Amino acid sequence: MATSNSLSGTVQAMAGTIDPDAGISAAGEPITEAEALQRLRQSEDHSQQYYAAWWLGRHRSRHPEALPLLLATLRQRRPRDPGAGVEENAIARNAARALGKLGDASAIPELLAALDDGDDGLREAAARSLGELQATEAVAVLLRRLASGPAGAGAPRLDSPRLQEPCEAMLEALGAIGIAEPGVITLIEAFTAHDRPLIRSAACRALLQLSGEARWADPLVQLLDHPQLQVRRAALMDLGAVGWRPALEPICRTLVENSLKLFALRGLVEQGEHHDAEIAIESVLNAMDSLL
């Protein structure tokens, strides 16, 4: 009965509001699983495939055909060609996102290959899904892609406001995968000095997840006072993803929609056990009640 049971899915749904693919999404009318599979199987109507790939991820389909169909859709991508239609790539990105939500590790090799695709949007989707799948195999590739640091991988592109690499997604994936080796920590630390607050936020989130050290929470708590709403939202969701209960008070105070605060506080309840037993679950639940 519960269909929306993933915190990270929520964060990604939020990311979807600034998703460049959002424009070609088909209308969100209710469909059945059989209908979604059928729409993904055909290849004439791209918007139907795009919606079907999203649907199977959103509903965490367990149908035996879902995984092979999504993998086939991921393979459907083409080399990047700015002049040509890129709809196959948009569908491939949605397939990559859905593969993270199915929770089946057999998708990992193809997602790993997508981390080296020429389309940075696909690399971003693949990184997030590999993080969701906690794919330790992905750490080496993520480190390689980020190795040039804030001045290389983190440099702005000339043709768009995006960075050379989808740093935010890649840093978050490293945090979610959870390998706290010195090489990983050192690389992520370099990004805590990035010009863009969203990148700093993602780096601190990953370091907080990997080390549990409070010093990485402080910059996130400070970003809750940032003048830009988008930055406050990101810091809020990052603290929630880590489950950092000491941030309960600042989270309650920050100027962000209550709906997002509730998602973050859910994270404090569900992910927060290992960080701080001082703040009891009941305090967080009381704070959630007052946001309803």
Residue choice 17, 186, 259, 278 for contact with another protein (CB under 8 A): 259
Q: Is 228 in the site for another protein (CB under 8 A)?
A: no
Judged by CB under 8 A, which stretch of 136-144, 147-155, 175-183, 251-259 contacts another protein? 251-259
CB of 165 to another protein, least distance (A): 33
# residues near another protein by CB under 8 A = 21
User: What values do phi and psi take at 124, rounded to 5?
Assistant: -65, -50
**Residue nearer to another protein on the CB measure, 185 or 281:** 281
Judged by CB under 8 A, which stretch of 96-104, 176-184, 187-195, 258-266 contacts another protein? 258-266
- DSSP H helices, 115-180, are 120-132, 139-146, 149-152, 167-177
**Count of helix runs (H) and strand runs (E) in the chain:** 17, 0
Residue choice 98, 208, 248, 288 for contact with another protein (CB under 8 A): 288
Q: Is 29 in the site for another protein (CB under 8 A)?
A: no
CB of 260 to another protein, least distance (A): 10
The number of C-alpha atoms within 13 Å of 229 and in the hemisphere containing its C-beta is 6
- The contact set with another protein (CB under 8 A) reads 1-5, 255-259, 262-263, 266, 269-270, 281-282, 285, 288-289, 292
